[in-house]
Structure 1
Amino acid sequence: MRPEPGRPRHHHGCRRTCSLTATPDRLEATATAVDAEALGPVQDVITRHLVRLAVR
């Protein structure tokens, strides 16, 4: 099932999430995690994906 546009997808028991919001002039990424240790990996994944997509 796809989430509604503009609504983040939530997974129960997930320690970290990322929500993307597109506007006409930018893309906002908001990462959340239960602690700093869990936030690092999600920031790394977001960065790698954005860099990979930017060069396409």
Structure 2
Amino acid sequence: MAAVDMLVLGVSTVTRYARYFSLYWALSAHAEQAGLDRGACRRLVRRAEVGPGA
């Protein structure tokens, strides 16, 4: 990632983490619209994390 940071404009060593932040923002918006409680939110996050983890 150090070489990418120097050679590619707009890409840094933290760029790869942006997709995780956007995942949690989207899950938060969905949970609010669906009116989920704390337990349901936890299940939603755990299930959603399986995709990027795979």
More strand by share: 1
Larger Rg: 2
Is the shorter-chain TM-score for this pair beyond 0.5, marking a shared fold?
A: no
RCO comparison, higher one (Cα < 8 Å, 6+): 1
More helix by share: 2
With the length of structure 1 as denominator, give the TM-score of the two structures.
Answer: 0.35
With the length of structure 2 as denominator, give the TM-score of the two structures.
Answer: 0.36
